[in-house]
Chains A and B, each alone.
Chain A
Amino acid sequence: MVYFILKRLVQSVFVMLAVAFLAFSLFRFVGDPITQMTGVETSVADQERLREELGLNDAFLLQFGRFTADILQGDFGYSYRTRQPVAQMIADRIPATLELGLVALLISLIVGIPAGVYTALKPRGFATQAILMTTLVGVSIPTFVIGIMLIFIFGVQLGWLPTFGRGGTVQIGGWESSLFTIEGWRALLLPALTLGVYQLTLTMRLVRAEMMEVMRTDYIRFAMARGVPMKKLHYKHALANTMVPVITIIGLQFGGVIAFSIVTESVFQWPGMGLLFLESIRFVDIPVMGVYLVVIAFFFVLVNLLVDLLYVAIDPRLRVRDVQ
């Protein structure tokens, strides 16, 4: 058990190193940093001096080592565009993206799991067919179209909800949260829904497929033959066994939600990391892009580690040793 987690941690370190390397290569391959930092009037000698001062003439591996060491100490460098520390910029934006992703995930779970269970238990019902059809349409439409449609209906036509920004936010120890004001929630609803629709469909279909599989297993048939009450049978026996593979996918997807919330954030002008990333690309702001990569990879690794721990919590076969 401890060994298992340690193994995962070591693997994570290698993943992070690989990503850091990728982020570092951005600097070398996306143009010369010196030309980007200096104007036309800087002399060649000055440029060379700067290059020497910044250590850009050093060996490749040495530079990579320095880069990694800086990141480990929390020094992410300065943005070319705003001249602010990148760490500060990312820290300002992370709460918005995380809250958006979390609420989107919650929507997909709260709706997706019960819908999946229902459609698995009544596979031929009218409601099932209707749900399956609607969600298929929902997935087939690109995210930005859904976002624009939602803005048009709820923001413009009905005027119920704001169409951009985070609404009212509260500062809690450096974390700017929109979860504690009504205005914040109103602003959060549409983007979270947009982001959650795809997740929801995936969760629902996955739960449905797994649940149907589990309902055919011997232990469910045996539980049925012993007259275990149907409610318990469905929600205690079947659903728990369904969750193990579902959690894997949800975990992976959550990483994806955070990483790819770019489209949703730009449609709703949501001041999160996705929007920051988009702006950075427009200005070839390499330091921000590099750090963004590293931060996103860190989330992926973290979520996957959590998923592994959840497995252990759910499945006693990983927790309790065999006794023969």
Chain B
Amino acid sequence: MLTIKDLAVKFPSRFGDVSAIEDVDMTIAPGEIHGLVGESGAGKSTVGAAVIGLLSTPGYIAGGELTLGDTDLRSLSEQEAHAIRGDRISMIFQDPQTSLNPLMTIEDQLVETIQAHSDVSQGAAVKRAVDLLEEIGIDNAATRIKAYPHQFSGGMRQRVVIALAICTDPELIIADEPTTALDVAVQSQVLDLIRRLAKDRQIAFMLITHDIGVIAQIADRVTVMRKGRVMETGDTEQVLSRPTHPYTRALMDAVPPLDHRITRFRTPTDAETAPPGSIPDNAAERWLLEGQQHELLGLTLDGIHLSFPGTRTSIWRKPDPFVALQDINLTIRPGSIMGLVGESGSGKSTLAKAITGLIAPTSGTMFLGDNVLPAGRARKRNDPSRQLIQMVFQDPYSSLNSRHRIGDILSEPLWLYGFVNDAAERRSLAAAMLELVGMAPDAIDKYPHQFSGGQRQRVAVARALLARPRFLICDEPTSALDVSIQAEILNLLKDLQSVFGLTILFISHNLAVVRQMSDDIAVLRNGKIEEIGSTEGMFERPQADYTKKLLALTPVMPRTWQV
């Protein structure tokens, strides 16, 4: 039984100590899965780190009580705390790709952990490790245990991580975003495993996540955090279906529902930026509308094939090519939004790269409107499609040049495509554009690092629009953002699309988001299109087995809980 009372963590800084979390109360009983939910910066991970005693330096626990059973965790010496780690409290990290030592076999890592906490022989430890891997669902464990982490797939690797966390029979496991890096199918397997372990082994889980769907699916109780404080805590069903705190309610509103379509997201109150949309008599809006020489443009992909040369393993044999895209036929109607969904590695981003001309398809033709779109290097630097097709990337932290001011970033498309030759005019257009995407005009002289992820994504959208595009590719534009920010950005994209009549290819792994955004939808799997159709039709009556499976596995809240 873990008890947290009035926990406060502070980080010393030049201007005095900064509170990361304050007055956090929580109890987790054996066998309970306790969800800890909140947006980035809410202090969820800090709670977990404080419990296991791994706060990143120079953070320290400033007050409160932390007890596990009869042990006062705060009174432990460094050595005692380290002895408890693994033995009584363990942890699961977010990304299974990075949480295993790449240079050691699974066996070495398991045996080492088992032997660190109990006095057993090598042989006994190996036997225990093999049994554990079998229990966790790894076939042929006795031979697979000799493998290195890179020889396992993502889902299997997360199983190994879980095996490592439970190999010493801990009372409490802190799972920090354990499924965020996984595809839905794997996610649901891992969640099942966590639930089974909680039940069979009576392990208490602190499940830290930003995904309310995951909480709804497996947590017994939930604590909602925001800005280092607990907003609300209680049984999952009660908190999610009858939230008492306005923040919980706002958070729930921002989660895109999977089972129906809503016209706009309600965004949480006190948003950091003004509500976007059409602003009367905005210079940038006028300029963008005036300059549209083209009617609505659609995009047609005809039999696109794309394969990469594989890694060479022998001198004599030609390497097997890696097929990324196979026979892709896709028509995006002018002025519509086409959603493209699929798991990681399905070829979504490769398709976007092929359309933008970054890589050339092996065969097949692309049409933008009625014109053939030259592939790869055949597309000239001054090809009109380079201006007509623009892109919004996933990670706003790396898609803006950190050494350029926002004004320079926004002016670039204006001079690059020869629209505006006067610098002062470019600047005023950039300022008006900032207003249009809901940002303060003084942002123009700032640098990207001065803004939050959501604001940066607004800048990225503004930059794409200033090229006067007719076709926009949004590659996972909100996956790096919190749900409330995601709701704002999605609203913004919808507004801008309707004002400027853009055709959009909207790439996402999140089915709920795609349902809200797109008119049509294409499901991609292993480089092949499994199903294409209208969004509503597909969600109501999915045809392909794969689509059905995806829909069934996506964690959702029971409909009765929805506000």
Q: Taking beta carbons and an 8 Å cutoff, which residues of A are in contact with B?
A: 2-3, 6, 217-219, 221-230, 232, 236-237, 240-241, 314-317, 320-324
Distance A6 CA – B316 CA, assembled complex (angstroms):
12
Question: Would B99 and A227 count as touching, CB distance under 8 A?
Answer: no
Question: Would A241 and B102 count as touching, CB distance under 8 A?
Answer: yes
Closest to B161 in A: A222
Given A222-B164, A223-B101, 13 more pairs with CB closer than 8 A: A2-B314, A2-B315, A6-B315, A218-B94, A219-B101, A222-B99, A225-B174, A226-B164, A237-B101, A316-B102, A322-B151, A323-B151, A324-B153
Closest to B153 in A: A324
Chain B min CB distance to A231 (Å): 11
Q: Of A217, A218, A227, A236, which contacts B82 at CB under 8 A? A: A227
Distance A291 CA – B102 CA, assembled complex (angstroms):
43
Interface membership of chain B positions 81-122, coded 1 if the CB is closer than 8 angstroms to chain A and 0 otherwise: 011111101110111001111111100010011001100000
Q: Is B147 an interface residue (CB 8 A)?
A: yes
Query: A320-B151, A323-B147 are known contacts. Are A227 and B95 too (CB-CB below 8 A)?
Result: no
Q: Of B94, B148, B161, which contacts A316 at CB under 8 A? A: B148
Question: Would B315 and A3 count as touching, CB distance under 8 A?
Answer: yes
Interface membership of chain B positions 369-383, coded 1 if the CB is closer than 8 angstroms to chain A and 0 otherwise: 000000000000000
Query: A218-B98, A219-B100, A222-B99 are known contacts. Are A228 and B113 too (CB-CB below 8 A)?
Result: yes
Distance A226 CA – B52 CA, assembled complex (angstroms):
10
Distance A106 CA – B285 CA, assembled complex (angstroms):
68
Question: Would B102 and A315 count as touching, CB distance under 8 A?
Answer: yes
Question: Would B101 and A3 count as touching, CB distance under 8 A?
Answer: no
Chain B min CB distance to A8 (Å): 13
Chain B min CB distance to A87 (Å): 34
Question: Would B151 and A221 count as touching, CB distance under 8 A?
Answer: no
Q: Taking beta carbons and an 8 Å cutoff, which residues of B are in contact with A?
A: 52, 54, 82-87, 89-91, 93-95, 98-105, 109, 112-113, 116-117, 147-148, 150-151, 153, 161, 164-165, 168, 174, 312-315
Distance A230 CA – B54 CA, assembled complex (angstroms):
14
Q: Of A219, A229, A317, which contacts B148 at CB under 8 A? A: A317
Q: List the A side residues contacting B174 at CB < 8 Å.
A: 225
A-B contact pairs, 17 of them (CB 8 A): A3-B313, A3-B314, A218-B95, A219-B99, A219-B100, A219-B101, A219-B102, A221-B99, A225-B90, A227-B82, A227-B85, A227-B117, A228-B112, A236-B104, A314-B103, A317-B102, A323-B151
Distance A82 CA – B61 CA, assembled complex (angstroms):
77
Q: List the B side residues contacting A236 at CB < 8 Å.
A: 104
Chain A min CB distance to B118 (Å): 11
Q: Name A's interface SS.
A: helix
Question: Would B100 and A222 count as touching, CB distance under 8 A?
Answer: yes
Distance A229 CA – B148 CA, assembled complex (angstroms):
21
Distance A320 CA – B54 CA, assembled complex (angstroms):
33
Q: List the A side residues contacting B90 at CB < 8 Å.
A: 225-226
Chain B min CB distance to A47 (Å): 52
Q: List the B side residues contacting A237 at CB < 8 Å.
A: 101, 104
Q: Of A219, A227, A314, A322, which contacts B83 at CB under 8 A? A: A227
Distance A299 CA – B145 CA, assembled complex (angstroms):
41
Q: List the A side residues contacting B116 at CB < 8 Å.
A: 226-229, 232
Closest to A240 in B: B103
Nearest 9 A/B pairs, CB to CB: A227-B86, A225-B91, A226-B86, A227-B85, A218-B98, A316-B148, A218-B99, A222-B99, A219-B101
Question: Would B84 and A227 count as touching, CB distance under 8 A?
Answer: yes
Q: Of B102, B104, B113, B313, which contacts A227 at CB under 8 A? A: B113
Q: List the B side residues contacting A218 at CB < 8 Å.
A: 93-95, 98-99
Distance A324 CA – B150 CA, assembled complex (angstroms):
9
Distance A3 CA – B105 CA, assembled complex (angstroms):
25
Distance A226 CA – B102 CA, assembled complex (angstroms):
16
Q: Of B83, B85, B150, which contacts A224 at CB under 8 A? A: B85
Chain B min CB distance to A121 (Å): 12
Question: Would B101 and A241 count as touching, CB distance under 8 A?
Answer: yes
Closest to B312 in A: A3
Distance A316 CA – B105 CA, assembled complex (angstroms):
9
